[in-house]
Amino acid sequence: MGRNLKFLIPCALVILSHSAPAAKQPSMPEVLAASSPADWRPLDPENTLYVELPGGRVVIELAPAFAPLHVVNIKTLTRAGYFNGLSIIREQDNYVAQWGDPENRHPLPTGIGKVAPEFDSTLPPQMAFTRLPDGDVYAPEVGFSAGFPVARSLKLHKVWLAHCYGMVGVGRDLDAESGSGAEMYVVIGHAPRHLDRNVALVGRVVKGIELLSSLPRGSAEMGFYAKNEKPLPIKSIRVAADVPAAERSNLEVIRTDTPTFAALVESRRNRPEDFFKTQAGRIDLCNVPIAVRERPAH
Amino acid sequence: MGRNLKFLIPCALVILSHSAPAAKQPSMPEVLAASSPADWRPLDPENTLYVELPGGRVVIELAPAFAPLHVVNIKTLTRAGYFNGLSIIREQDNYVAQWGDPENRHPLPTGIGKVAPEFDSTLPPQMAFTRLPDGDVYAPEVGFSAGFPVARSLKLHKVWLAHCYGMVGVGRDLDAESGSGAEMYVVIGHAPRHLDRNVALVGRVVKGIELLSSLPRGSAEMGFYAKNEKPLPIKSIRVAADVPAAERSNLEVIRTDTPTFAALVESRRNRPEDFFKTQAGRIDLCNVPIAVRERPAH
């Protein structure tokens, strides 16, 4: 009885102090509004691409930690002006937007050739990994590392980037080593996770994906544009570090290894907004928003 | 020894008869090419909508088995001409395209009002259910029933349609009973499965989704079009049964309760195409293509 009484008293007190409706857990906008500057990181200009389209700029964050050889190739191609004047050649609904030079109008710069596949990596000894708690259909574990959605297998001792919406990959032919980086695609549909470990993913679109996802779909096989369709020209692709500071996109991305990011994930697993009558209580890797914002003025 | 020998002889024979490379399992195009007429079903004109846009026709198969009250409302609205001359008012990247009449230009026909939510249904005693073997992040079981992606819970004794790419839902306000069918959306991004059991899904786009998914994104909050943006007009929405036979889309959908469909699922769990170096061995509900084709001439 004594022990029961002990529990009764604090409970009654708790109920009294919460006579207003119980505080909801914060929504994503509330989590972001309460974040501190340390919860965000600027993009590294050396590993950021600007794809300039007639409608505006697409910003890509490259992932050298996961595909170092491809990233070197892509930056060499970019700095040689290889992509300038090429086009979006493929737009397949619920799948990918892709650019390249299928008619070999632009010669490949010296030093660009096939590279090792980089479809996955050996798990580094101390890789940051914010694991999601709800499992995954395709991989033993999924989560975030350095701002990217990743899957890992402790059994295989491997980690790989996951094909979520907005991820950027390197097109290739049948040969696993046939992707140089001269052809790239962006996922614009439901995550094609069957491509995981079959293609080198090299980064993620952090801004402007609607400029790629809203293009007319190509009517030829696999969504390539037919001869009578007009592919969208690419004005230029540049490494952000090569762009005058005043013309750069001043973006920062939420860190994925902080309590704030954990709160963001939780705000999406159980949506507190009044609209939701049944909370999922779970979340799929590719439904977690990796927030991006304009860098606040100092 | 005698038993071992018995095993050795057939094995040797098997190996001899397969001295050519082992036969691969069929790819999806091969599965479909080998299908019989009985593997397909025509769309029911009474439960098919034609959304006529300036760029062409979107065909929607309604799901009266899952949302009977909403389907009745939607057909009443359609037959009253309610949608003709309305617009696509919302286009949110990686989420939904939506139409409706936010300015109440069209009066609601008599008899159209709020209906019960229909976010899920009590599991019928003998529901066809082709279960997928690889699990799901959001629901205890997922699979297909009558051509639609569904989730079910034997514990809750419930079944519900799943928010995969192309699914059609009924927009509503905060009140769970505030959706009449006068406002509808189509999923055009990574499956927003957190909406499952929070909205009434009423069908699936079986043709023409690219006419909705490739529209310019709206710049106002939640992807609504801002005042200076031009929403795409809807010429008409009609029930297929009301359209002269010669003007109908003559489509059929693959049955989801046949060995052919099981083979299709398998062809996507383990992609036999030479491109794939690592087979996923698994598949997510929303990555299974529910094949649609023109009905072959007799």
By C-alpha distance, the chain A residue nearest B191 is: A190
The candidate with the shortest Cα–Cα distance to A261, out of A87, A163, A129, is: A129
Beta-carbon separation of A283 and B194 below 8 A? yes
ipTM above 0.85, yes or no: yes
Whether residue A134 lies inside any domain: the answer is yes
Asked whether the beta carbons of B259 and B297 are under 8 A apart, the reply is no
Cα gap B137→A269, rounded to integer Å: 11
A280 found inside a domain: no
Tell me the C-alpha distance between A294 and A271, whole Å: 25
- The CATH code of the domain that includes A119 is 2.40.100.10
Mean pLDDT of B194-218: 98
User: What pLDDT is recorded for position B23?
Assistant: 63
In a domain, residue B110? The reply is yes
pTM of the model: 0.92
Find residue B293's DSSP bridge partners. B252
Q: Is B229's Cβ below 8 Å from some Cβ in A?
A: no
The pLDDT tens digits of the residues spanning B131-150 come to: 999 999 999 999 999 999 99
Q: Is B153 contained in some domain?
A: yes
Residue type, A113: G
Domain assignment of residue A203, yes or no: yes
Q: Which residues of chain A have pLDDT under 70?
A: 1-23, 298
A-interface mutation test, from B131, B215, B287, most A Cβ less than 10 A away: B287
- Which carries the bigger pLDDT value, residue A78 or residue B179? A78
Residue B159 has pLDDT above 60, yes or no: yes
* Nearest-neighbour CA in chain A from B199: distance (Å): 9
Residue A1 lies in a domain: no
Q: Considering CB atoms only, which of A117, A194, A217 is closest to B287?
A: A194
Q: Is residue B271 part of a domain?
A: no
* Domain contains B290: no
Question: β-pairing, A158-161 with A148-153?
Answer: antiparallel
Cβ within 8 Å, pair A287-B135: no
What is the pLDDT at residue A23? 62
Of A193, A215, A278, the CB nearest to B197: A278
Return all residues near A70 (Cβ < 8 A) that are at least 6 apart: A115, A118, A170, A179, A181, A200, A202
Q: Is A24 helix (H, G, I), strand (E, B) or coil?
A: coil
Q: Alpha-carbon Rg of chain B, whole angstroms?
A: 22
Confidence (pLDDT) at A22: 53
Residue B139 Cα, gap to closest chain A Cα (Å):
9
- On whether any CB of chain A is under 8 Å from the CB of B136, the answer is yes
Q: CA-to-CA distance for B161 and B163, rounded, in angstroms? A: 7
Give the domain range for residue B59: 42-251
Q: Do A119 and B278 touch (CB under 8 A)?
A: yes
Instruction: Say how many CB pairs under 8 Å bridge A and B.
Output: 120
Domain count, chain A: 1
A138–B280: do the CB atoms touch at under 8 Å? yes
The pLDDT tens digits of the residues spanning A174-222 come to 999 889 999 999 999 999 999 999 999 999 999 999 999 999 999 999 9
Q: Tell me the shortest Cα–Cα distance from B190 to chain A, in angstroms.
A: 4
